[in-house]
């Protein structure tokens, strides 16, 4: 298994946008993203903090992307 890179929420949002996800709404510090094929995910935005490994795994599961594929694209 590949190790996941350390990712800030801002960089993850930029990555999701490039992958075709659209920010549909925001509630507090959580951004909700939807893809046109129906996949959805939520990204919390907290300044100066990186996304935890467990949460990043859950987001990857939500968007149906493997860790290896994410590491290559990111």
> pLDDT tens digit string along 38-74?
999 999 999 888 999 999 999 999 999 999 999 998 8
> In this predicted model, what pLDDT tens digit does every residue of 7-24 receive, in sequence order?
999 999 999 999 999 999
- In this structure, the number of other CB atoms found within 10 A of the CB of residue 68 comes to 10
* pLDDT level of residue 3 (50, 70, 90 thresholds): confident
* pLDDT level of residue 5 (50, 70, 90 thresholds): confident
Q: Alpha-carbon distance 33 to 19, whole Å? A: 11
Give DSSP secondary structure letters for 43-57: EE--TT-BPPHHHHH
pLDDT at 53: 92
Q: Alpha-carbon distance 61 to 63, whole Å? A: 6
Which fold does the domain 9-73 belong to in CATH? Answer: Metal Transport, Frataxin; Chain A (3.30.920)
pLDDT at 67: 92
pLDDT at 74: 86
Query: For the chain, what are the domain ranges?
Result: 9-73
């Amino acid at each position: 298994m590949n190790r996941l890179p350390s990712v800030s929420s801002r960089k993850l949002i930029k990555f999701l946008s490039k992958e075709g996800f659209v920010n549909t709404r925001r509630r507090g510090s959580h951004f909700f993203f939807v893809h046109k094929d129906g996949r959805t995910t939520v990204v919390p935005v907290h300044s100066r903090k990186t996304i935890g490994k467990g949460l990043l795994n859950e987001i990857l599961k939500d968007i149906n992307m493997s860790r290896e594929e994410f590491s290559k694209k990111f």
